[in-house]
């Protein structure tokens, strides 16, 4: 192919790497950046509420009695 970003077998690693980076920037960097920003915003906004819900569910899902440690009764005169 007559392209500066196409894969060509036999090229040195550095040139292949430059072609790959150019291909990535040309084809997906915009989408990846937009997706990363959207994920960050959603996690920042919804994260605290989701964690609160999970913590509440974890408290309600404890089926064992809480463990309490008491000092042993001393036998004495």
Alpha-helical (H) ranges within the chain are 13-27, 29-60
If you ran DSSP here, which 8-state letter would residue 10 be given? Answer: T
> pTM of this prediction?
0.55
Cα–Cα distances (Å) from 28 to 19, 46, 56, in that order, read 14, 27, 40
Print pLDDT tens along the chain (77 aa). 678 888 888 989 999 999 889 988 999 999 999 999 999 999 999 999 999 999 999 888 877 777 888 888 887 66
């Amino acid at each position: 192919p007559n392209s500066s970003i196409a894969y060509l077998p036999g090229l040195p690693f550095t040139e292949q790497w430059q072609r790959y980076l150019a291909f990535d920037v040309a084809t997906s960097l915009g989408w990846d950046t937009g997706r990363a920003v959207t994920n960050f915003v959603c996690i920042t906004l919804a994260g605290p509420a989701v964690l609160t819900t999970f913590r509440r569910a974890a408290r309600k899902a404890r089926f064992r009695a809480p463990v309490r440690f008491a000092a042993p009764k001393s036998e004495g005169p």
